[in-house]
Structure 1
């Protein structure tokens, strides 16, 4: 007789990255029974788990918040929504403080002020703690259990999902009162670190039940990497000068405005970069904040601040681009009853407009939208 796992719960969360774990935590804290399924091992799979990421963590000072919002507004074609940006800034500030206090995340300390620096996270430590946190809260986790299709009742409401347990070699079904899709974006075959599981299956399942998408025209996003590398930390290239193969400065090239110049040049010749605009203090902060970015250079004997190194572009699709499942309420509900979306699976137009949400905005959106979707689903 073929083994089969049949579960029933209040909230089913599909995906075990930051959006999924925050959704599971908040749903559980709202009193719901929660099952979380992950195609990999929750806490280690996805784009955040092996990486370091900045976080859009901004204190409540209105002038500082206004400056933070304005920094991306023109880049995104003025399509972002200030009310949603304010909500994300508020929720991210609260979540990061909660992560420090209840989640016991070991943020670095400013040696001068003694205050914790909460503007970035190391993915392995972050996701390890999120897994521990949700398990302690009572979330039932099914690892290595990709969801394959959503279940819909006679009235068209999403009521769970069916999938396959890869290490147990049997099918499963989870019926639920509501479902949160937090399965990440789609960066299929990009080779970017951690995206091997980001194959767009959550988007496909949502499309199959009739969900509306938004901003997909903004999803063909590429990130800068050292040649033959997988670590995309585009923000650091804001301190870079880019060069032609013959050593001439590549005019107009940049990490935000100017990535297309790099792309066009790469069609005919190699492009090189040097992080020569970072002073000694910035260099120290960069190494402290994202040590994995520098491993690739240290292993090759390259000092990226004084040496030129070849760069390339990797497609990261909706992992970095803004498009995804449309959300139609503050609870991140979708156009399909019973279905909620969070993180890279959901559109980030609300806070990024038409420009990439890579890095700090993505991480802030993941923990914020995950929180709202989890509460809404509960």
Structure 2
């Protein structure tokens, strides 16, 4: 027997972008259903690990430096207006996490909270709690299989299958937010094996446009035989060949292709995080302790001892491409359909280059919040019988 539900807004996904979309749609007065193919709060790239956040205080000089820092890497394709919007929204949402969700941000040596990083499990545990308290109905283990549309092409819900209940479900909704994550299926990067790119498929099936897919073959650096790709930490690294000589041109941002070519030539690549001073080392351990778990278990000091690294494909989780958005509310080219997080293209703030956290985490918070509010407004404009 099919489970039939009606809602103002249906959110597809269960990670940061999806939970922010559901929260903000509910806060806007919409009835919301969230359908996750896994268990909301534990599935996906963020819940498995940790992430940096593009959190910059509203000081003109700091904001200018933050925007300028990645423009060249992205081919100067990013839009400053969108960058500023994301910085504003992220600042508010991270502070909301601290003040409303009581997220336990670590404290630096100066006694100030360090709000530029999040531990995924704790972050998403609190997000799930908040979503439920907001009155959102969560459908766990309920993969969507297709979007529903009206005769004139407006997206009006989705159908899927509840694996544990062994039944089909159908949600009729005034608007749908696709926040299903990127595509890095079976990549072996932490949390990415289950990211199949299903949201991009659903969008394409109803005629939505994709954008930036030429920037989506992204790889992250990881210690050999591990799944943790904290590429930002490798800004402090020196890379070496197996004979101990420095691998010229290798680097985290601009030199990853050098590492790739060396690995493809069946040579090993080693590195040490030897460019980090004592303050940076302490900050790194505070910000992302999971990065150091493997080293601590093996008795390896990554700051002084070389360790082998590899590259893991992270597709559109780390790459910028995805569903094209056409307005400030993250609408797609199909009426009634919105996109957020890794499912949506990040070109507007990253151009052709991004990373695994920082901008991505900020984009998830921001686009999730904007799409949830916009979807609620769209559904409300259709009238009470929209679903």
2:133 matches 1:152: no
Deviations 1:273-329 (A, max 9, x none): 110111111111111110000011112221101110010000000000000000000
Aligned residue for 2:29? Answer: 31
SS in 1 for 2:234: helix
Aligned residue for 2:383? Answer: none
1:32 Cα offset (Å): 0.1
Indicate which of 248, 252, 274 corresponds to 1:251.
Answer: 248
Indicate which of 357, 380, 385 corresponds to 1:359.
Answer: 357
Aligned residue for 2:187? Answer: 190
SS in 2 for 1:177: strand
Q: Which segments of 5 or more consecutive residues in structure 1 lack a partner in the other structure?
A: none
1:117 Cα offset (Å): 1.5
Alignment of 1:171-190 (within 5 A): 171-190=168-187
1:184 Cα offset (Å): 0.0
8 Å Cα contact 2:147/2:156 also seen in 1: yes
Aligned residue for 1:335? Answer: 333
C-alpha distance in structure 1 between counterparts of 2:311 and 2:112, whole Å: 37
C-alpha distance in structure 2 between counterparts of 1:284 and 1:41, whole Å: 34
Aligned residue for 1:227? Answer: 224
Aligned residue for 2:379? Answer: none
8 Å Cα contact 2:341/2:360 also seen in 1: yes
SS in 2 for 1:196: coil
Deviations 1:38-67 (A, max 9, x none): 011000000000111110000110111000
Aligned residue for 1:373? Answer: 371
Aligned residue for 2:299? Answer: 301
Q: Which segments of 5 or more consecutive residues in structure 2 lack a partner in the other structure?
A: 377-387
2:51 matches 1:53: yes
Aligned residue for 1:10? Answer: 8
SS in 1 for 2:193: helix
2:155 matches 1:167: no
C-alpha distance in structure 2 between counterparts of 1:248 and 1:111, whole Å: 36
C-alpha distance in structure 1 between counterparts of 2:246 and 2:2, whole Å: 62
TM-score calculated relative to the size of structure 1: 0.98
Aligned residue for 2:382? Answer: none
SS in 1 for 2:38: coil
The Cα RMSD (Å) is: 0.7
Indicate which of 132, 136, 151 corresponds to 2:133.
Answer: 136
SS in 1 for 2:37: coil
2:241 matches 1:236: no
1:23 Cα offset (Å): 0.2
Deviations 1:175-224 (A, max 9, x none): 00000000000001101111122001111010000110110000000000
